[in-house]
Copies of this chain bind each other. A is one copy, B any other.
Amino acid sequence: MSKGLPKRSEDYSLWYNELVKRADLAENSAVRGCMVIKPYGFSIWEKMQAELDRMFKKTGHSNAYFPLFIPKSYLSREASHVEGFAKECAVVTHYRLKADPSGKGVIVDPEAALEEELIVRPTSETVIWSTYKNWIQSYRDLPLLINQWANVVRWEMRTRLFLRTSEFLWQEGHTAHETKKEAEEETIRMMNVYATFAENFMALPVIKGKKSESEKFAGAESTYCIEAMMQDGKALQAGTSHFLGQNFAKAFDVKFATREGGLEYVWGTSWGVSTRLMGALIMAHSDDQGLVLPPKLAPIQVVIIPIFKREDELEAIRAKANEIMESLEDLGISVKFDDRDTHKPGWKFAEYELKGVPLRLGIGPRDLANNTVEMARRDTLSKSVVDLDEHLAATIKETLADIQESIYRKASAFTQEKTTTVDTWEDFVEVLEQKGGFIAAHWDGTAETEERIKEQTKATIRCIPLDQQAEEGSCILTGKPSVGRVLFARAY
């Protein structure tokens, strides 16, 4: 590392961009808006994927794979769906290149135009429901609970690594049910799975809620979401779960023979989280020294760094380090021993702080003599001396659990601190400008007011919280009656 990161307090946005690059998480590619996810960043994503996949399977879902391309006409089948996605579609129009007659490079072969253009999937409802039509005949084929891990493309003009990229990786669940009630329950179930994952694994407190009509998914009856608060006071939508009603069933004519002998349209849901979660993970916990990773998602949970001048010192340390590593691996803890002689310990300390390794053990000759080891926590940057005895592995395991919990508690306290209840327009604007965060305020329930607030302040309704209290009040902008507070924030 040449020099320190920019400070969060000075330029949060620059801090984020630099951190993503320097911690080897991702970088921009030569292709506009598309990122390269580097091995270290990808190893974090792999851990997130593995856990989510386990949770999806535990709730009865199976993985499958559907085509990357969607015929243009399919998109148009559901009116609001195409309206929502038409402006950001990458379109395949040809299937062949040929040598440039000028003799240099290749050109698109004009004779190889597709009869119907293909859209690179921005989401897969249309291609999946066109398939479900053949899979679903009777109530016996339901519920159909399917997930796919895939790349999707939504053309973006202004992109940011992980947060907004033209291509991103995600999972999309697509389920089909007999009844409205079952589909609604599934929608809520998956929102809860996302919330549990965010809180238990990402150490990220989230607000569960419902989107306003203007913010719901294009083609859904209603959209549920989890919203998280970042350190700069901006909110981030971390996952969405949509109740599709019978919209896509009607668009693709998916009917089933009911238990009663009738024929009805199927009820649907879809739900997804993406590599955007990486952005949330980074922005929620990290500091001016670099990443702070919750142990449950850290590719390396413990790093051991030898502090030595002579080769024989290293050998003694190595023997001890091997013992420690073995005892940690027995407990399922991932550990790395960095014995490179090309870098000094101080450099390594800074490097693993940047990379967010939760625990660092430093061992030098004096430690060996005292039978101790220096343990440094990444989250608090605090150090302690620990006995190098048979309890070490258990101590480390407990400490990792404590780190996981404290990161969550810290983020949770921060989210609470950044949540303000206001009753007037003046307070709303002032809190937004001075403090940011979530603002709980009354709203008259109309899309017009929502839009005017957005235009004037850049704040949007993040959600109508599931735990919204019935409370009579007056809309902060129009003064019209409201039945409960919704959460506003500026957002990523």
Tell me the A residues contacting B by CB distance below 8 Å. 27, 29-31, 34-39, 42-43, 46, 62-76, 82, 86-99, 105-106, 108, 117-120, 127, 130-131, 134, 140, 146, 150-151, 153, 155, 167, 169, 342
Contacts of A42 in B (CB 8 A): 62-65
Known contacts A64-B38, A68-B151; is-contact A95 B106 (Cβ 8 Å): no
CB within 8 A of A105: which of B46, B76, B89, B95? Answer: B76
Contacts of A151 in B (CB 8 A): 68, 150-151
Q: How far is the CA of A86 from the CA of B109 in the complex (A)?
A: 10
CB within 8 A of A37: which of B65, B88, B98? Answer: B65
B34 and A62 contact, CB distance less than 8 A: no
Contacts of A74 in B (CB 8 A): 30
Q: How far is the CA of A170 from the CA of B163 in the complex (A)?
A: 26
10 further contact pairs, Cβ within 8 A, besides A68-B153, A87-B96: A30-B71, A31-B127, A36-B67, A42-B63, A43-B63, A72-B106, A73-B105, A76-B106, A90-B118, A97-B119
Which one of A65, A119, A342 has the greatest number of beta carbons of chain B within 10 Å?
Answer: A65
A108 and B82 contact, CB distance less than 8 A: no
Listed by A's residue number, 10 A-B pairs whose Cβ atoms lie within 8 Å are A31-B70, A36-B65, A36-B66, A39-B146, A43-B62, A73-B105, A82-B106, A87-B96, A87-B98, A92-B92
B34 and A68 contact, CB distance less than 8 A: yes
A36 and B63 contact, CB distance less than 8 A: no
CB within 8 A of A64: which of B37, B67, B82? Answer: B37
Contacts of A82 in B (CB 8 A): 97, 105-106
Q: How far is the CA of A93 from the CA of B93 in the complex (A)?
A: 6
CB within 8 A of A106: which of B27, B34, B86, B98? Answer: B86
Q: How far is the CA of A91 from the CA of B42 in the complex (A)?
A: 27
B90 and A92 contact, CB distance less than 8 A: yes
A97 and B106 contact, CB distance less than 8 A: no
Which one of A73, A118, A130 has the greatest number of beta carbons of chain B within 10 Å?
Answer: A118
Q: How far is the CA of A46 from the CA of B95 in the complex (A)?
A: 30
Nearest to A120 among chain B residues (CB) is B92
| Chain copies in the assembled complex | 2
Q: How far is the CA of A117 from the CA of B98 in the complex (A)?
A: 13
CB within 8 A of A96: which of B75, B92, B97, B155? Answer: B155
Q: How far is the CA of A360 from the CA of B98 in the complex (A)?
A: 55
A167 and B97 contact, CB distance less than 8 A: no
Contacts of A118 in B (CB 8 A): 31, 90
Whole-angstrom distance between the Cβ of A218 and the nearest chain B Cβ: 13
A106 and B75 contact, CB distance less than 8 A: yes
B89 and A97 contact, CB distance less than 8 A: yes
Nearest to A105 among chain B residues (CB) is B76
Q: How far is the CA of A37 from the CA of B62 in the complex (A)?
A: 12
Nearest to A153 among chain B residues (CB) is B68
Contacts of A68 in B (CB 8 A): 34, 120, 151, 153, 167
Q: How far is the CA of A100 from the CA of B46 in the complex (A)?
A: 42
Q: How far is the CA of A96 from the CA of B87 in the complex (A)?
A: 5
Nearest to A128 among chain B residues (CB) is B36
Whole-angstrom distance between the Cβ of A120 and the nearest chain B Cβ: 7
A63 and B46 contact, CB distance less than 8 A: yes
Contacts of A86 in B (CB 8 A): 96-99, 106
A87 and B97 contact, CB distance less than 8 A: yes
Whole-angstrom distance between the Cβ of A416 and the nearest chain B Cβ: 36
Q: How far is the CA of A95 from the CA of B108 in the complex (A)?
A: 16
A34 and B69 contact, CB distance less than 8 A: yes
Complex A-B, nearest 5 residue pairs according to Cβ-Cβ distance, in ascending order: A34-B67, A39-B62, A37-B65, A86-B97, A76-B105
Whole-angstrom distance between the Cβ of A408 and the nearest chain B Cβ: 28
